[in-house]
Amino acid sequence: MIIGVDFDNTMVCYDQLFHRIAVEQGLIDAATPVSKTAVRDALRAAGGEQDWINLQGLVYGRCILEAPAFPGVHAFFNLARQQGHQLCVISHKTRLPVSGDDVNLHDAATNWLESQGFLDSAKTGLSRANVFFELTKEAKLARIATQRCDHFIDDLPEFLSEPSFPAEVKRWLIHQEDAWMGDAVITPVVSWDEAGQRLMGERMAV
């Protein structure tokens, strides 16, 4: 089977990085919960929308190599390769930040994949030719269809619920810890370990 995977906040965990940099820059109090969403909400509540935009450009660009992968995602890719499944990374990502650093975000994301070992196809089954950073949400949806994905894993329920989402693709919502009351065509999973069990029938060594 062909498994498509989103990139930001699906493979990459930015929570600690957003929090640390925001604290270092004096944008938030250190007592703010350590999560991307909490940092965003704290900045917006203080009227710091531009600070939030600049912070995203920094984290997704120059500092991305400091962000870890979510626990279990390496093991998921390794298990998929062992079972003979094809993997592809498909993400909606602008090429340049809206403001702040002048850095190519596609290159930064590719460098993260390289540094994390995901482009070692002998271990993960993922090649550079199967990594796609699309400029629009519509292009991301089209790419999922073009790659003929059987499954797609994303962290955003609103994307998986898009009316134009390819109907034949099984939709998986990763990192969904609360009771799921949303779209019935979406299957929530708490972790990459659970995703591996449900998609490939094996518990992974994380």
With 60 as the cut, is the pLDDT of residue 206 above it? no
Residue 162 has pLDDT above 90, yes or no: yes
Looking at every residue in the chain, the average pLDDT score rounds to 93
pLDDT band at 100 (very low <50, low <70, confident <90, very high): low
What contacts 24+ positions apart, CB below 8 Å, involve 63-69?
63/17, 63/21, 64/12, 64/108, 64/109, 64/111, 64/112, 65/111, 65/112, 65/115, 66/17, 67/12, 67/13, 67/14, 67/16, 67/17, 67/112, 68/12, 68/13, 68/16, 69/11, 69/12, 69/13, 69/116
Domain ranges for the chain, please list them: 2-13+67-200, 15-66
- Could you report the per-residue pLDDT of 5-54, keeping only the tens digit for each? 999 999 999 999 999 999 999 999 999 999 999 999 999 999 999 999 99
What is the per-residue pLDDT across 73-94, written as a single tens digit (0 to 9) for each?
999 999 999 999 999 999 999 9
The pLDDT, as a whole number, for residue 97 is 83
Quickly list DSSP for 103-128. --HHHHHHHHHHHTTTT-HHHH---G
What is the structure's pLDDT at 205? 52
Residue 63 pLDDT > 90, yes or no?
yes
pLDDT computed for residue 80 by the predictor: 94
Predicted confidence band at 181 (pLDDT cuts at 50, 70, 90)? confident
Q: What is the pLDDT of residue 165?
A: 97
CATH class for the domain made up of 2-13+67-200: alpha beta
